[in-house]
A and B are shown apart, each in its own frame.
Chain A
Amino acid sequence: MNKITGWILSSPATLAVSLFLIIPVAATISFTFTAPGGTFAPYVDFFASGFQRTVLWRTFEIAALTTVISLIFGLLTAFVVSRSPPWMKSVLIVLAVFPLLTGVVVRSFAWLIILGRNGVLNNSLEWLGIIERPLALLYSQTAVVLALIYIFIPLMILVLIGVLENIPDDLLQASASLGASPTKTFIQVILPLATPGLIVGAVLVFTASFTSYATPHLLGGTRQMMMGTFLHQRAMTSFDWVSASTVAAIMVVVIVTTVLVMTRIAKRLNPMAS
């Protein structure tokens, strides 16, 4: 009786996910295997093109850079936040949640105002007399990485605050009273305990940057095409659905592999787990 009730109650959601996610995505992926020219033809085509290899490589590079920089600054910021007095901690958490709840388009757009030809940065530099003519800051890899860090670092900070808060103060005091310098305590005590959290944060930021659309579209233009913007261009401008589906399939494989491998490593490294 109970078993049947459980199945009945969960069936509408199961049905929705199966019908509108699993089947469509499976159809997109299997579509690439039935394309004319042989089973793996779309993949051979994809990797045969230097331009498409560049897009894939660039996406990896941008996502990795974003992840590493977010990881470093996110960890240090989260450390300070987690060790600040309670009232200040809640203020700092609210200030990190606010940008997170503001949409990606709005936040990418902000960087358009900052990095544009007549943007805040160019104007300030000109006013200070550092440059004479506006620099072309937009549509560069730096612009995309900067904006992606801006968009995803709150995620990293929030994940890591949660992890660092769980490290008891006693442990740090013990380390200090045994003569370890703050830096040594940070590297030898905090870092190992925070590693599973760092991996979770890194996976979140990497997968989100790897699959982003709005930010590379606005700040990278056609020059800094990433997998997401490339998929859209293939599907909606070139109407080449085979190629678009191939890009989609590659993205799914990269993301699913990253998540599975990294969560497994995170579980193994967790010193808190018995």
Chain B
Amino acid sequence: MTNRIHPLLIVMTILVYIFLLGPLIIIFGASVSDTTFLAFPPQGLTLHWFENIWEISAFRRTIVTSLQVAFLGTFFALLIGIPAAYALNRHRIYLPGWLSTLFVLPILVPEIVIGFSLLRSVNVGLGAPVFVSLLIGHTLLVLPYVVRVISASLASFDFSIEEAAISLGSLPVKSFFTIVLPNIRAGVIAAFILAFITSINDVSVSLFLTGPGISTLPIQILAHVEQFFDPTVASVSVLLMGLTIIVMVIVERTLGLTIVAK
């Protein structure tokens, strides 16, 4: 069957993949150029722009904030998302169908609208500190991924094992932690990684929820590009790509990448 694909289609596919990966290679090249402006191919090689990331305090600060928000936001999303996914699968017959729709609502509503609405209601309306509203925004942003991925792994879990434990006298809470959770470990890892990557790269929700002093890395990148057109941003981008590669290797080792492709 494979040898029957038209050669033109294969050429086109190769071109599409060059289109997909070429720009990322160009960023890499630009990040090591020793010019003070963005250039590709690089004129001379230097790692100066990577050092520059740490020298610019705004980048240092926003990297820390981004990591904090991504870890905490993902943690809170797992904290509320795992019980919700569990309830949806275990107690499905008792719960209305719209509940599962409710948890993916943050994907349906445009992110930029969520960000703006949170700014109006939580930040300005309730007078919440910038960091708190940013954290709320990110928790909400990643919740759908958590509920979906965990639901997918719970769907293939045989709840009769848990029932057996409970009927033998184990407390429901204990049986959840000793029986259910270890069985859906892969799903929890996948949910964590997917949520973390989503949060660290987010622009549209963060856009309205960052303020003077507290900003996230992608927002800082946007601000930096507008003022300076130097290779520092290319270096930051390379770091973010490095993070993505590390994550992909972890996922590949633990679960296989197909889970992300879903």
By a beta-carbon cutoff of 8 Å, the part of chain A in contact with chain B is: 2-3, 5-7, 9-10, 12-14, 16-17, 20-25, 27-28, 31, 73, 76-77, 79-81, 83-85, 90, 92-99, 101-107, 109-114, 116, 118-120, 150, 153-154, 157-158, 161-162, 169, 172-173, 176, 182, 207, 210-214, 217-218, 228, 231-232, 235-236, 241, 244-245, 248, 251-252, 255-256, 259
**CB <8 Å contact, B94 and A6:** yes
From B13, B118, B119, B197, A80 is in contact (CB under 8 Å) with B13
B161 close to A (CB within 8 Å): no
The CA of A104 and the CA of B207, in the complex, are separated in Å by: 13
**Chief secondary structure at chain B's binding surface:** helix
A218 to B204, CA, bound (A): 13
Is B179 on the interface with A (CB-CB < 8 A)? Answer: no
A116 touches B17 (CB 8 A): no
Q: Does B228 contact A (CB under 8 A)?
A: no
Determine if A106 and B20 form an interchain contact, defined as CB atoms under 8 angstroms apart.
no
In the bound complex, CA of A193 to CA of B95 (Å): 34
Chain B, range 70-96, C-beta contacts under 8 Å to A: 79-81, 83-84, 86-88, 90-91, 94-95
Cα distance, A109 to B118, chains bound together (Å): 27
The 10 closest A-B pairs by CB, nearest first: A6-B91, A103-B201, A110-B23, A24-B117, A211-B110, A24-B121, A13-B84, A9-B87, A3-B94, A9-B83
B contact residues, total (Cβ < 8 Å): 90
Least Cβ–Cβ distance between B31 and chain A, in angstroms:
10
- Using known A-B contacts A28-B117, A113-B38, determine if residue A173 contacts B1 with beta carbons closer than 8 Å: yes
A96 touches B20 (CB 8 A): yes
Q: Which residues of B contact A85 (CB under 8 A)?
A: 2
- Other-chain residue from A5, A232, A241 in contact with B207 (beta carbon distance below 8 A): A232
- CB–CB B261/A162 < 8 A: yes
Q: Give complex CA distance A73, B94 in Å.
A: 44
Interface residues as binary, B227-239 with A (CB distance below 8 Å gives 1, 0 otherwise): 0010001100100
| Given contact pairs A92-B17, A97-B260, a sample of 11 additional A-B residue pairs in the complex whose CB atoms are under 8 Å apart | A5-B172, A6-B91, A7-B94, A14-B102, A24-B118, A103-B203, A113-B26, A161-B261, A228-B110, A252-B113, A255-B109
Known: A12-B83, A20-B122, A110-B23. A105 touches B222 (CB 8 A): yes
Majority-rule SS of A interface residues? helix
Residue in contact with B16 in the complex, picked from A9, A77, A212, CB distance below 8 Å: A77
Q: How far is the CB of A123 from chain B (nearest CB, A)?
A: 8
Cα(A24)–Cα(B207), bound, Å: 16
- Chain B, Cβ-Cβ closest to A96: B20
Kindly supply a per-residue 1/0 record for chain B positions 124-164, scoring 1 wherever the CB is within 8 Å of any chain A CB and 0 otherwise. Answer: 01000000000011011001000100000000000000000
A83 to B4, CA, bound (A): 10
Point out the residue from B103, B118, B237, B262 that lies within 8 Å of A20, measured CB to CB.
B118
Q: Does B253 contact A (CB under 8 A)?
A: no
Chain A residue nearest to B237 (CB atoms) is: A106
Which listed residue, B4, B139, B201, B202, touches A182 by the CB 8 Å rule? B4
Check A16/B139 contact, CB under 8 A, given A28-B117, A102-B241, A105-B218: yes
Contact A211 B112 (CB under 8 A): yes
Q: Which residue of B lies closest to A120 (CB)?
A: B40
Contacts of A105 in B (CB 8 A): 201, 203, 218, 221-222
Chain A residues with CB under 8 Å of B229's CB are 116
Which residue on chain B has the smallest CB distance to residue A3?
B94
> CA of A2 to CA of B162 in the docked complex: distance in angstroms?
14
B244 and A13: CB pair below 8 A? no
A residues near B88, Cβ cutoff 8 Å? 10
B120 sits at the interface (CB 8 A): yes
Query: Which residues of chain B come closer than 8 Å to A235, judged between CB atoms?
Result: 116, 119, 208
Q: Is B37 an interface residue (CB 8 A)?
A: yes
Tell me the complex Cα distance, A120–B237, Å. Answer: 18
Report the minimum CB–CB distance from B107 to chain A (whole Å): 9
CB distance from B250 to the nearest CB of A (A): 12
Distance A162 CA – B259 CA, assembled complex (angstroms) = 12
